[in-house]
Amino acid sequence: MRHLRVPNREVEDALLTLRDRGWLATGMRVIPDEDDDYRLVPLDPGAPIEMTNPLDSHQLVQHEGVVDNRVDTDWWNHLALLVDEEEIEAFGEDWPSSHEFISDMMVVRIEPNLDPYSSRIAEAKLRAHPHIRLVLNDEGVQGELRIRKLTPIGARVDGDIITENIPQSACSTRVLVRESGRSIACDPNKAYFSTKLQSERLETLSLSKELRAILGRPINVCDPFCGVGPALSTLLSESELVNHVLASDLNPEAVALLLDNLGRWDRRDYPSEPSPISRIFEDRIVGIADATRLLEDDSLTGRWDLIIVNLPHRTIEFLPSLMPLLELSTPSLVRGRVIVPESEIPGANEEIKRSLPRLLTGFPEPSLRIKRDYSSSLRLCSFEAWISPQQT
């Protein structure tokens, strides 16, 4: 999570300004820096990528966020009014103390043994978080389209908390999320979207700027698993960074949301209905497509400086079919995410290298970095690979 590194004596002022602008993360703590003279102030995901005066004198750093337990006690207090103390103790760590906010919705993961308590969990969460409209139980990402199965377990309707027979009208999951100063339309019931990938997107932004500096021109970006387009949101917010874009996904519902998003980010009129991939503007190729078949269209191959491969359970398998899309007369970049057992990371690194064209000398070789646990044995990792121009 992004933090602002502020000298101790300026923390109060920084907090006032951040609160005033709506840029302070809610429910997270100000934490000490390694240097005792500084504090790390947590930033809301919606805060812009660059700080403005007077906050721009402080350094922006990435640091694991620390939940403010004083806020969280609230939900426990409410739960304690709805569930016996012995029952709370009996289920210990299984109670869902963490959650993800997606605009005015809260997503919680309820362990199967706590299913009978889901209404009470939803009620306690809604009481503890008055700005939340809908609480959804996350039953995991499913199928090729990676859509989460989200079941409404509680809603606020006209100020009342409802956990049974929730009306359809209260269950809409289409929302606008603020991230890095932009709005992203998403509907986690119809297309993959995760607020947890903001730092990944900021890393991609910084790598893209490096690539622009190497090429000495704006870059052409191919995002063939783009979902609703959050990676592009961050890249398009940097002026003169992006030239041509290919944005496609297999899921028509994701493409419908993407078109809505691109219309706002680009300030141009995109079609409202999703259709197979086509050139919508001279510099925008957008639509529904199977990424593994893009190489069959000559007009799409050999053109892209950056390819984003975000289908982590199949990235390694799909990499070879994506390489013909790279522009290979100049240096280029592949940015990917991979799910792999921890013990197999060295083998996966070798397999990635085998799928890539010749690497750019003077840059680190692609190597999977663990970002978080995906399950007890699997790790979610990311990598970047700098590709050399190829001699013909």
Identified binder of ligand SAM from the candidate list 23, 193, 383, 386, rule CB under 6 A? 193
Q: How far is the CB of 318 from ligand SAM (least distance, A)?
A: 7
Q: What single-letter DSSP state applies at residue 209?
A: H
Identified binder of ligand SAM from the candidate list 23, 38, 95, 192, rule CB under 6 A? 192
Tokens 């809409």, residue? 172
Q: How far is the CB of 155 from ligand SAM (least distance, A)?
A: 25
For residue 134, give the nearest of 97, 162, 165, 93 by alpha carbon. 162
Contacts of 6 (CB under 8 A, 6+ apart): 14, 38, 39, 40, 41, 58
Q: How far is the CB of 285 from ligand SAM (least distance, A)?
A: 14
Site for ligand SAM in 204-263 (CB under 6 A): 224-227, 230-231, 249-251, 254
**CA separation (Å) from 343 to 222, 260, 331, 350, 351?**
31, 42, 32, 13, 14
Q: How far is the CB of 165 from ligand SAM (least distance, A)?
A: 32
Q: How far is the CB of 375 from ligand SAM (least distance, A)?
A: 16
Q: How far is the CB of 191 from ligand SAM (least distance, A)?
A: 6
For residue 319, give the nearest of 349, 281, 279 by alpha carbon. 349
Cβ contact 338:316 at 8 Å: yes
Is residue 290 within the footprint of ligand SAM (CB under 6 A)? yes
Is residue 151 within the footprint of ligand SAM (CB under 6 A)? no
For residue 274, give the nearest of 220, 226, 219 by alpha carbon. 226
Is residue 338 within the footprint of ligand SAM (CB under 6 A)? no
Segment near ligand SAM (CB under 6 A), from 98-106, 123-131, 142-150, 260-268?
142-150
Decide whether 121 or 319 has the Cβ nearer to ligand SAM.
319
Rounded to the nearest 10 degrees, what angle do helices 345-355 and 315-322 cross at?
Answer: 10
**Number of residues binding to ligand SAM, judged by CB under 6 A:** 22
**Cα–Cα dist 146/120, whole Å:** 29
Is residue 38 within the footprint of ligand SAM (CB under 6 A)? no
Is residue 197 within the footprint of ligand SAM (CB under 6 A)? yes
**Cα–Cα dist 57/42, whole Å:** 16
Chain residues that interact with ligand SAM, rule: CB under 6 A: 144-146, 191-193, 197, 224-227, 230-231, 249-251, 254, 290-292, 310-311
